[in-house]
Amino acid sequence: STQRPRPRVLLKAPTLAEMEEMSTSEEEESP
């Protein structure tokens, strides 16, 4: 039987600025 492919799930993305903040806080946390 033919199955309709299920719709793709939208992945929510942070903004560019939010990604940079995440990166900065990770660097601050690491020893």
Partner 1 sequence: RQVTVQRKEKDFQGMLEYHKEDEALLVRNLVTDLKPQMLLGTVPCLPAYLLYMCIRHADYVNDDLKVHSLLTSTINGIKKVLKKHNDDFEMTSFWLSNTCRLLHCLKQYSGDEGFMTQNSMKQNEHCLKNFDLTEYRQVLSDLSIQIYQQLIKIAEGVLQPMIVSAMLENESIQGLSGVKPTGYRKRSSSMVDGDNSYCLEAIVRQMNSFHAVMCDQGLDPEIIQQVFKQLFYVINAVTLNNLLLRKDVCSWSTGMQLRYNISQLEEWLRGRNLHQSGAVQTMEPLIQAAQLLQLKKKTPEDAEAICSLCTSLSTQQIVKILNLYTPLNEFEERVTVAFIRTIQAQLQERNDPQQLLLDSKHMFPVLFPFNPSSLTMDSIHIPACLNLEFL
**How many angstroms separate the CA atoms of 21 and 11, rounded?**
19
DSSP one-letter string for 13-25? ---HHHHHHHHHH
Smallest gap from Cβ 31 to partner 1, in A, equals: 15
Smallest gap from Cβ 26 to partner 1, in A, equals: 9
**Cβ closest to partner 1, residue 1 vs residue 8:** 8
Smallest gap from Cβ 1 to partner 1, in A, equals: 19
Which residues contact partner 1 by CB under 8 A? 5, 7-16, 19-20, 22-23
Instruction: Evaluate whether 14 touches 22 at the Cβ level (below 8 Å).
Output: yes
